[in-house]
Amino acid sequence: MNVYKMFSNKIKGYLGCRMIKSRHLHFMLYKPVGMLSQLHSNSPRQTRKKRFLSELYDFPKGIMPVGRLDEKSEGLLLLTTDGKLSDTINQSGIEKEYYAQLDGEITNDAIEHLQNGIEIGFEGKRYTTKPCAVQNLDGAPALPEPDPILRIGRHRPTSWISITLTEGKFRQVRKMTAASGFPTLRLVRIRIGSITLEDMVSAEIRPLRSLL
């Protein structure tokens, strides 16, 4: 069995009952590093090998990710067959919390700049981010070991922050921490609204009864 399909047997029974009770299905998964937040390629021509969510499980027809995580980021990703619900969540300003491991020991001044809004590049223009919650974490949080792809060196000091946004520009957290002088080395989304990553491991999939 493919290692990324190891959780499939745990949810087959749930799907059988769920399909009888409701026409929509919802999932949460721990998106691994190196995988795109889409089911399949949008382009018939690919210059290099890409990995897609369909590698993890034979998802039902009509499933779609709610929001995105960039290829090098990991953590909580929601999927649903309910397109209207997906749009509602994406447009509602729902909180999304991330743990970010930064290159260097972040300062209080940098945290304040992140909290109050910081200028980043977006679609070729300058954009000032909305105020957000940022907290300096006391040591590394309890997470699965980092993927070797990240090549996080041990010769330089790093620090961890929790950052909670109500918006979601492309690569926003990475752009924000880089603009503050502390580039992100590892980025893990741990919460969307009231749904948390809990004790999930990379590539794990769990069914949800609802997304709201």
Strands (E), the chain: 26-31, 64-66, 74-80, 96-103, 119-122, 125-128, 133-136, 158-165, 184-192, 195-196, 205-208
Give the span between the Cα atoms of 107 and 105, in whole angstroms. 7
Residue 125's identity, in one-letter code, is K
Active-site residue, from 58, 70, 109, 199 = 70
- Residue whose tokens read 């749009």: 87
H helices present in the chain, as ranges: 8-21, 83-91, 108-116, 172-179
Rg (CA), the chain: 18
Compute the distance between CA of residue 144 and CA of residue 77 in angstroms, rounded to an integer. Answer: 16
The total of other beta-carbon atoms located within 10 Å of residue 163's CB is 22
Q: Is 199 a catalytic residue?
A: no
Cite the active site residues.
70
